Structure 1
Amino acid sequence: MGVKVIEKGLLTSIQDRGRFGYAQLGVPQSGAMDRYSAKIANLLVGNEAFKAVMEITLLGPLLEFTKDAFIVLVGIEANIRLNGKEISLLKPFKVKKGDRLHIKQITKGARLYLAIFGGFQTEVRLESRSQFYPITKTSSVEKGELIAISKNEGLKLVDFASVKYKNKELTSSVIEVFKGPEWDQVPLVLQEQILSAELTISKNNSRMAYQLQEQFPNTLAGMLSQPVLPGTVQFTPDGNLIILMRDAQTTGGYPRIFQLTEDSINSLAQKKQGDKLKLELIKT
């Protein structure tokens, strides 16, 4: 088969680019939270940009390989061991049958990506392998699960790619945004408050959405449910800012005051509870 999950870690799932064209059915896009890092991982082992990878959050899994494979791990900083020996990020290497890989902890950032030559060969549902329950049977890999990989007998490890990894951009506290459809309804004084505030990621953060701790007075009128996307920033009646992420719903009834850029979604995906950020409005 390929990879056996000995311990699953905090939240470990298989993700590719995600599902598109199913919003009318209420199906989220899903896919890698940090698409940039997932893409770099795939390129480093010679894959197409969005083959299925393993997304690892904060505390990683213990994996055992049941066949030889070529792999790479991409993230900002992490404590990783192969058979007890330290492994570096961003450097493809060969694992042999029986080898154990332990992603012990992500020490900087929030997510890490494990790419394997040929991609993980899990079930395709609605044109994607991305795990999202109930589209897939589970939302994460499970202890004892055996994950299939491609046949790669006879392959020799070569330097498939050399790329520059933009970790400084991923660790930046600046999150660029465009105006959302309801931004102009926000009073000017409140606009200035939101854009000048140092914001904090709350404990309520997940693949679905990141909620910020700070609250602002919301005097906007209610609205009917409207389309939303990953990166949409909603302003709740209680004054909270909620930033939708890859597993977000497809419609929402709160004012949409901002829309994150793709780079900003990737950067936010590498942040965790307590991290600070500042929203920067892109003038168009």
Structure 2
Amino acid sequence: MVEVLKSGLYSTIQDLGRFGFQRYGVPFSGAMDAYSSKIANTVLGNNENDAVLEITMTGPRLLFKTQTVICLTGADLSPKLNDVSISLNKAIKVKAGGVLSFGKLNYGYRCYLAVLGGFQSESVMESKSMFSNVTKANKIAVGDSLKINTASVFNLEHNATLKVNTNHFKSKTIEVFEGPEFESLSDSQKALLFNQEFSVSQLNNRMAYQLNEKLENNLSPIITSMVLPGTIQLTPSGKLIVLMRDCQTTGGYPRVLYLNELSISRLAQKKPNEKIRLKLLKQ
């Protein structure tokens, strides 16, 4: 078990998501930065879909009541084990009684904690990803006990580590593809989309990222249609809304662009007021 001594700003159990239930209005959910989540599991030799703890901006304080091996990836939140700094992207042995804590945010926005064998929380609709009204809780809380497997032996003697592409955190470029309503935009609107910088709004969460800068919009609403994580909607006010992992399954705003999974992961590591540039890729 892992006891939650401090929950952090917003920490949730996530795997790669809940597939096949969108026709019932159930979001995909899953790790916002699937790239980093997969790295954490790969370092430990886990299945890439094993559940991890997604930590946003401010880290929790966790007491390990059983020995295990962990890996931290994604954002650098100055992690410490028993008050000693530890590295990201590396297998770290944790003995029973070990306390994992976090400090200053150095880069990125979301950190991922994987444990050997994955977190063993309840699976609902074929996924352990936390989401309101689907799982019992939508985030961890002080006093929670997070179930993990006990490592009977420490079997990662090779100090496994993986090199991570730093552009994943540093690059302003977010690659996008044309959405279903892209051709309804004027040439001047298209030029603005790709020739200016946008900044991430304070209004960002697991459901959607709003961008601060507006794009003049004279498009008509569309008939309510399917949307997916990565869909970029253009609202009547001219705001661009990038739908993220917990987004709704249908929407009525024009879908002018969309992001692939890697671009979703990169955007998920951007903090409020960080600048991005959209780069159009041809399909």
What TM-score range do you get, normalising by the shorter chain?
over 0.9
Q: Matches of 2:281 and 2:187 in 1, distance apart?
A: 16
Please name the residue that 2:196 is paired with.
197
> Residue deviations 1:167-226, cap 9 Å, x none?
223321101100000010011111111211110000000000000000111100122111
Please name the residue that 1:53 is paired with.
52
Residues paired across the two proteins, number: 283
Please name the residue that 1:78 is paired with.
77
- The reply to whether residue 232 of structure 1 matches residue 224 of structure 2 is no
Q: Is the 8 A contact 1:43 1:161 kept in 2?
A: no
> Which stretch has the larger CA shift, 41-50 or 154-163?
154-163
Task: Give structure 1 regions of 4+ aligned residues with deviation exceeding 4 angstroms.
Answer: none
Letter in 2 for 1:202: S
Please name the residue that 1:206 is paired with.
205
SS at match of 1:123: coil
SS at match of 1:106: coil
Letter in 2 for 1:133: S
> Which stretch has the larger CA shift, 81-90 or 139-148?
81-90
Letter in 2 for 1:25: Y
Q: Matches of 1:169 and 1:54 in 2, distance apart?
A: 20
Q: Matches of 1:160 and 1:150 in 2, distance apart?
A: 20
Letter in 2 for 1:29: F
Using the TM superposition, give the Cα deviation of residue 261 of structure 1 relative to its aligned residue in structure 2, in angstroms: 1.8
- What is the identity percentage for the equivalent residue pairs of Structure 1 and Structure 2? 45
Please name the residue that 1:63 is paired with.
62
Please name the residue that 1:110 is paired with.
109
Letter in 2 for 1:148: K
Letter in 2 for 1:24: R
Q: Matches of 1:230 and 1:279 in 2, distance apart?
A: 17
State TM-score, norm by structure 2. 0.97
SS at match of 1:214: coil
SS at match of 2:221: coil
> Residue deviations 1:89-146, cap 9 Å, x none?
1121111111111022432000110000000000100000000011001111111000
Please name the residue that 2:175 is paired with.
176
Q: Is the 8 A contact 1:57 1:106 kept in 2?
A: no
Q: Matches of 2:266 and 2:146 in 1, distance apart?
A: 28
Using the TM superposition, give the Cα deviation of residue 12 of structure 1 relative to its aligned residue in structure 2, in angstroms: 0.4
Q: Matches of 1:28 and 1:128 in 2, distance apart?
A: 11
Q: Is the 8 A contact 2:58 2:77 kept in 1?
A: no
Letter in 2 for 1:229: L
Unaligned runs of 5+ in 1: none
- The reply to whether residue 148 of structure 1 matches residue 147 of structure 2 is yes
Q: Is the 8 A contact 1:37 1:113 kept in 2?
A: yes
Q: Matches of 1:179 and 1:109 in 2, distance apart?
A: 27
SS at match of 1:263: helix
Unaligned runs of 5+ in 2: none
> Which stretch has the larger CA shift, 155-164 or 183-192?
155-164
SS at match of 2:177: strand
Q: Matches of 2:248 and 2:194 in 1, distance apart?
A: 25
Please name the residue that 1:6 is paired with.
5
Q: Matches of 1:20 and 1:200 in 2, distance apart?
A: 31
RMSD: 1.2
Q: Matches of 2:32 and 2:93 in 1, distance apart?
A: 26
Letter in 1 for 2:4: V
Q: Is the 8 A contact 1:76 1:167 kept in 2?
A: no
Please name the residue that 1:30 is paired with.
29
